Structures are given as C-alpha cells and as structure tokens.
Amino acid sequence: IKRLAREAQVWCQLNHPNVLPFLGLYILDSVPYLVSPWMDNGHALDFVQKNPEADCLRLLAQVAKGLEYLHKFKPNPVIHGDLRGPNIFISQSGDACIADFGLSELIAETYETNYSTPFIIAGHPRWQAPEIIAAATKEAARRNTTTDAFSFGRVMLELLTKKIPFSDITQDILIGFRVMSGEVPPRPLDNEVVARGLDDDMWELMMACWDPMPSRRPSASDLV
C-alpha cells in the first residue's frame, strides 16, 4: 500500500508526451489499482522484438526527453529509480512513454543532492548502477540522477540489441557481482545491431552512462 501511495503521489503530478499519463485510482474488491491508458503496443523491449522496422534511436530519444522532464521537474526533480525496457510503454502512435514509478519519489526539499527515497535490494541488477547494488546502508542506496543515467545506458543496449542486458546469464546474483566488479556487457558487433544504430558514437555514449564514477555520467539533458 505504501509503495502504491508513493507511486500515485509522484505519478499524478507528471504531464509529458513521453511519460505515461495517470488517470486515477480505482478500488476493486478492496484492492487499489493505479489506472493509466491502455498501451496496445506493450512495453519497449516487446515492441522492438515484434517490430523489426522499429526506429530504436527515435524511441531512445523520446525516453531521454521523458527522463529530462523528470529530472528537471519543478519544484523538485523526480528520480525514476527503475528505468528499463519493461517499464517503458509504446503508445498507439508508436511513441515511448516512461511508466512504473514504484521506486520513484519527488526529491525532498531538505536534500542538498539529487537523492530519492532509498530502497535496498530493489530494482533489477541488469539495469542498476554498481553503487546501488553494492549499497550496505539506506543512505548509500539512494537513487539519483546519475543512477538513472546508468540505467538509461542499459536501456540503449536493450533496445538496440532486442535483448536484456547480460542476456546470456540467467542468475541475477551473478550479474550483481559482475556489475559491482565493474564489468559491462560486451559490445555487440553484428551487422543487424549496427544497422539499428549501435555505432562507435552510440557505444561511447553507453560507456559514458556506465562510467564507474557517477559524477562523470551524462545528465539527462546531455542524452537528449
């Protein structure tokens, strides 16, 4: 219930073409549900897998615009905290909309740095920054704009390859250890992936998002 209330509190304030609209709260059989428009095209990973001609670069640009909106939200920025393909939906017109704000929260005015609410052992290690996975305290586990940037780099890889990051590894715990050690997914070099847009410049941008030093990662505005 607390997570649902938190998600509704954040989501209801947002209004952007690349953020899934919030329609309201509905209670069925004493169970509350958050209501949004139905997305016929499903989530982003599913969409690019089913649509070979999907313009992945266009979708990524839209996600970046949505993320920039969240990070520049007034009076306080919003940190998504769990950015990944299944949390990005594709509208009937084929546009990307960021969704699932369960790990998000408006940044409290008392914080001097870009921190959101802490969640330890939340999110998915395939997309999470190493400092979040390695966090031993709530303070260390606070998500921020730089951890969202890290996750965006994983989304870039995910959509361009049509596979989840570290797709060859089935156990999340092994992925967690590899990410904490500084390992990044191998660069795909097959012609189809390159044709979708994964060239040298795009790979360089991904690596910048995955920089082990959070302060060196690009901002959402840099990604647009």
Strand-pairing partners, residue 79, are 105
Is residue 107 within 8 Å of residue 144, measured between CB atoms? no
Residue from 91, 87, 85 nearest 104 by CA:
87
Task: Give the C-alpha separation, 79 to 174, whole Å.
Answer: 26
- Residue 199 catalytic? no
Task: Scan for tokens 């306080």, then name that residue.
Answer: 76
Q: What sections of the chain are H helices per DSSP?
A: 2-11, 44-50, 56-71, 130-133, 145-161, 172-180, 191-196, 200-209, 220-223
User: How far is CA 104 from its chain centroid?
Assistant: 11
DSSP states of 65-107? HHHHHHHT-SSS-EE-S---GGGEEE-TTS-EEE---TT-EEP
Identified catalytic residue from 29, 40, 46, 82: 82
Sign of CA pseudo-dihedral 74, 1, 43, 130? positive
Residues identified as active-site: 82
